Structure 1
Amino acid sequence: MRKAQLVFVPSPGIGHLISAVEMAKLLVGRDDRLSITVLIMKFPFENKTQSLSSHASDRIRIVELSHDTPSAADPNSKPGSFFSDLIEIHKLRIRDVVSNIVSKSVSASESESESTPRLAGLVIDMFCTPIIDIANEFGIPTYIFFTCNAGLLGLMFHFQTLHDHHNKDVTEFKDSDVELTVPAFAYPVPAKVLPYVFLDKEGGWSTTFLNIARRFRETKGIIVNTFTELDFHALHALEVDNTIPKIYHVGPVLNLKGGGGGPNDAQTSQSVADLMRWLDDQDPASVVFLCFGSRGSFDEDQVKEIARALESCGHPFLWSLRQPPGKGKVGLPSEYENLTDILPEGFLDRTAEIGKVIGWAPQVAVLSHRAVGGFMSHCGWNSTLESLWCGVPVATWPMYAEQQLNAFQMVKGLGMAVEIKMDYRNDFGLETFLVTMEEISNGIRQLMDGSNEIRAKVKQMSEKSRAAVMEGGSSYNSLGCFIEDVMKD
């Protein structure tokens, strides 16, 4: 059978990029007829990003796309159309890459045709649906790589159906106490945990997401980074709905070796080595790890409440503390030059025996360490999958995107996490409220000293997540179905 090539187009943002690269590795590792080109876009507000070129191999090509008009995609001026604008400024370059691959495949002589892979499809991120137009132009199938869970995917389709077929304006649920019946969920979903983008009429996000769901329906299949044992109800609801494309559940797709998300220099390597030695000196399952993702940061008042809570609880802690980009600015958190400027006076001295405050953290390496017994997390989907893989229970503190929904599923739906605050939001300039020392302390104590039932459930799901990707597992088999479908087209 002739070799095949796929082109991956992930969204910018390290969570999306790393997941796409890991998915590419998974595919070429399963079938030596496959090769993959990954096209890397960058946010206009990123001055420098971690290069992913180290992930390239003889069958994975990494292409970093450049553009000349970074101001064309400004999240401040047109928040709802930000991603579509970002795709538009890269679209011509993406088309050039696709056209070049198609031309090489078509022009290959008969003797070369077996060694020249045909372009079998474009695998695009959920925010990259304008790229479907390029695939259609060349008569190539499009697949979505959905880096969130199946519940969110089901919610997107449900809201689009309500809007298009039942004339229901879903933005009416904003600031409502209503609980919604959604086919992808086995229990009612409170409006307060819905992703803000579904409810934002003024900024245009709700319209954007309705359009994304509509375009999903045009694709040949949707690859979801989840597994049956975790997301059974949502996956079943999606699979029995004959109005949507075929679903492939292939997760957890994780970057277990680390790298690709933080600084890469000798000083950082030394800091990581020191950190791991510190963890080696701690008792098993004694440390609470606080880390809030690549975009997670807090203002000074909130930082002080967290610090007071950690001091009052007395549990050993490891805290990844990052500096916000600045009031009114769009960007990623950075490292503090001096932590004493943001922490309560004397905090570092008083907690020197039990705690460690750092900047960027090697999250998987930390979660994998025997000393870590709890994880205070923003509940990004990658982080949720990593915590389950490592068997570490979570205290939920969602901040943006679909994280409130993830937290709700983990706490209320699955009983595998404790709540700090489920409806906290720190995104798109929304006003946040202060989570108090008492609330944080209570969450930490529940996490570290509470019911063994949660810990047992997480341990069981950890075993299931690992079994899912092993030969014969649910995700292993679903990935095999995807490869078979790609190769036979």
Structure 2
Amino acid sequence: MVELAKLLVHRHSTLVISLVIITSPSTATAAVTRYADSLAAAATPRVSLLRLRGEDDPSLPAGNAAVSMIESQRTRVREALLEFTPTARLAGFVLDMFCTSMLDVAEELGVPSYLFFPSGAAFLGFTFHIQTLHDEEGFDAAAAAESTEAELVFPGLVRPLPGKVLPSGLLHEEWAAASYRMARDFRKSKGILVNTVKELESYAVDSLSRTENPKVYPVGPILNLKSGDTSFESSGEDDETIEWLDQQPESSVVFLCFGSMGAFRGEQVREIASALEGSGHRFLWSLRRPGEGGPWASPTDYEDVREVLPEGFLDRTAEVGRVMGWVPQAAVLAHKSIGGFVSHCGWNSTLESVWFGVPMATWPMYAEQQFNAFLLVEELEIATEVRMDYRSESEEVVSAEELERGIRSLMEDCSRKGRMKGFSDLVRGALTDGGSSSSSIAEFIGDVSNNDL
């Protein structure tokens, strides 16, 4: 959201943006506070951060509790904005996808609401269509996901979507209800800024433009490539990692990293190690310990990775591989020695990989990542499949043989690399003057500026 705000104020000399951050006792961790501080330091004079502290409701399920906590802040947000902008004309709201309860506040203040959708255009189209199927036809996503033969046709996809890759959230009643509710709220917005590039998802963007849904502005890629993820403390290991990569041949290293929530337990770790050793390829592996205290507990770094790796693995692979905890992902993907990326398929990671032209192998975990994996493998053809239907909650073990096949395909098949390079050039040009995303941002600013005319 901060990077989007920077783009907007850069394009409009009198635009001022107040970014509201709502935390609760359960989310206001040291890492979150440190990250918010870093955002404040990185903001421009015309982008300010307004922090509000909510309260958790322990009686509610996790998904409902988060939404309820945000809803409870509506009055405070209204009062804070009126106090914060006494002399400026409030032009509108840009809402995070989980903050649609603030639509009511915008209506009270007499301004339009827009949505920032951090995933891609195809998934936005899917979100709308699946909600329509549920509301009008009683579609049961959980039943479709269990069927080995179910294939679903969606307007924003060229190929039918197998039921097995439906997003994990739709398979649980609580989260499915929240997803459908959010989709209904999305339709109430005046427009949706999507973190994608028209040339990357042209079919999906064109499909959305032909619907009666709110206007879509493809404004991506919205990435923070310079400062990295400062929610984690940088260490000397970061420099050592880059130095190690400097010593490797170009496009020779496979990079394994599974996002801020991605971690595996012992048996799966040993299968990954066996696959890497068997493949014979150089590797950089971000290996983290699963969090304690529930499925959404944040992973941590091992004090000593030897406790979970096969005996002698580090010694046998010392010349060709490196295993560490958290890594500066963007800096790694930018390095010329990286030849492939085994990823959980989070949308930010996907955009980073496309930006740097690194082909991917898909190993989704949760949220919409199974859908993203399908998009990358079947629609865009810039990734090879380890799995498209893996779900972290299942704790299924992917075999070393299956993973080794995926790594070999990723590193030895050159067809995807050329296709990824083509998309990389298009994505990099989107935010330049005259580029598709730059033009879309200008169009959005023009629409906001004319709202009171």
Q: TM-score range by the shorter chain?
A: over 0.9
Amino acid of the structure 2 residue aligned with 1:135:
A
Q: What residue in structure 2 maps to residue 257 of structure 1?
A: 226
Larger deviation, residues 151-160 vs 391-400: 151-160
Query: How far did 1:171 drift?
Result: 4.1
Measured in 1, the distance between the counterparts of 2:395 and 2:446 equals 47
Q: What residue in structure 2 maps to residue 175 of structure 1?
A: 146
Q: What residue in structure 2 maps to residue 14 of structure 1?
A: none
Residues 260 and 187 (structure 1), Cα distance of their counterparts in 2 relative to 1, 3 Å cut: same
Measured in 2, the distance between the counterparts of 1:126 and 1:259 equals 23
Larger deviation, residues 300-309 vs 41-50: 41-50
Residues 440 and 327 (structure 1), Cα distance of their counterparts in 2 relative to 1, 3 Å cut: farther
Q: What residue in structure 2 maps to residue 47 of structure 1?
A: 29
Give the counterpart of 1:384 among 321, 333, 350.
350
Flag structure 1 segments of 5+ consecutive residues without an equivalent: 1-19, 106-116
Residues 190 and 324 (structure 1), Cα distance of their counterparts in 2 relative to 1, 3 Å cut: same
Amino acid of the structure 1 residue aligned with 2:22:
M
Q: Say if 1:121 and 1:141, in contact at 8 Å, map to a contact too.
A: yes
Measured in 2, the distance between the counterparts of 1:476 and 1:28 equals 13
Q: What residue in structure 1 maps to residue 118 of structure 2?
A: 147
After superposition, the CA RMSD in angstroms is: 1.7
Measured in 2, the distance between the counterparts of 1:329 and 1:425 equals 12
Q: Say if 1:374 and 1:447, in contact at 8 Å, map to a contact too.
A: yes
Larger deviation, residues 404-413 vs 43-52: 43-52
Query: How far did 1:53 drift?
Result: 2.0
Q: What residue in structure 2 maps to residue 231 of structure 1?
A: 201
Which runs of structure 1 show a deviation greater than 6 angstroms over 4 or more consecutive aligned residues?
A: none
Query: How far did 1:167 drift?
Result: 4.1
Q: Secondary structure at the match of 2:30?
A: coil
Measured in 2, the distance between the counterparts of 1:414 and 1:286 equals 23
Measured in 1, the distance between the counterparts of 2:388 and 2:140 equals 24
Write the deviation string for residues 191-210 of structure 1: whole angstroms up to 9, x where unpaired: 11111222322xx1111111
Query: How far did 1:329 drift?
Result: 5.5
Write the deviation string for residues 73-127 of structure 1: whole angstroms up to 9, x where unpaired: 68xx51442431231344343233223235x13xxxxxxxxxxx31111111111
Measured in 2, the distance between the counterparts of 1:42 and 1:287 equals 39
Measured in 1, the distance between the counterparts of 2:245 and 2:333 equals 11
Q: Secondary structure at the match of 1:228?
A: coil
Aligned residues: 444
Residues 271 and 199 (structure 1), Cα distance of their counterparts in 2 relative to 1, 3 Å cut: same
Query: How far did 1:214 drift?
Result: 0.6
Q: What residue in structure 1 maps to residue 186 of structure 2?
A: 216
- TM normalised by structure 2 equals 0.94
**Pairs within 5 Å for 1:2-13:** none
Q: Say if 1:380 and 1:406, in contact at 8 Å, map to a contact too.
A: yes
Q: Secondary structure at the match of 1:252?
A: coil
Q: Secondary structure at the match of 1:336?
A: coil
Q: Secondary structure at the match of 2:290?
A: coil
Flag structure 2 segments of 5+ consecutive residues without an equivalent: none
Give the counterpart of 1:194 among 136, 161, 166.
166
Residues 173 and 46 (structure 1), Cα distance of their counterparts in 2 relative to 1, 3 Å cut: farther
**Pairs within 5 Å for 1:152-171:** 152-171=123-142
Residues 474 and 329 (structure 1), Cα distance of their counterparts in 2 relative to 1, 3 Å cut: closer
**Pairs within 5 Å for 1:261-300:** 261-265=230-234, 268=235, 270-300=236-266
Q: Say if 1:148 and 1:224, in contact at 8 Å, map to a contact too.
A: yes
Residues 373 and 73 (structure 1), Cα distance of their counterparts in 2 relative to 1, 3 Å cut: farther
Q: What residue in structure 2 maps to residue 60 of structure 1?
A: 47
Q: Secondary structure at the match of 1:153?
A: helix
Amino acid of the structure 2 residue aligned with 1:31:
H
Q: Say if 1:228 and 1:475, in contact at 8 Å, map to a contact too.
A: yes
Measured in 1, the distance between the counterparts of 2:229 and 2:76 equals 24
Q: Say if 1:470 and 1:476, in contact at 8 Å, map to a contact too.
A: yes
**Pairs within 5 Å for 1:81-480:** 81-101=64-84, 104-105=86-87, 117-177=88-148, 178-201=150-173, 204-242=174-212, 244-265=213-234, 268=235, 270-326=236-292, 328=294, 330-426=296-392, 430-450=393-413, 452-480=414-442
Write the deviation string for residues 12-68 of structure 1: whole angstroms up to 9, x where unpaired: xxxxxxxx111111111111111111122346255322232222221111223223x
- TM normalised by structure 1 equals 0.87
Q: Say if 2:228 and 2:329, in contact at 8 Å, map to a contact too.
A: no
Measured in 2, the distance between the counterparts of 1:73 and 1:297 equals 26
Q: Say if 1:258 and 1:362, in contact at 8 Å, map to a contact too.
A: no
Amino acid of the structure 1 residue aligned with 2:276:
L
Measured in 2, the distance between the counterparts of 1:198 and 1:288 equals 32
Measured in 1, the distance between the counterparts of 2:322 and 2:292 equals 25
Query: How far did 1:274 drift?
Result: 1.4
Measured in 2, the distance between the counterparts of 1:46 and 1:400 equals 23
Write the deviation string for residues 310-336 of structure 1: whole angstroms up to 9, x where unpaired: 111121111111111126353211111
Measured in 2, the distance between the counterparts of 1:449 and 1:391 equals 16
Amino acid of the structure 1 residue aligned with 2:163:
A
Measured in 1, the distance between the counterparts of 2:58 and 2:209 equals 35
Q: Secondary structure at the match of 1:222?
A: strand
Measured in 2, the distance between the counterparts of 1:307 and 1:42 equals 38
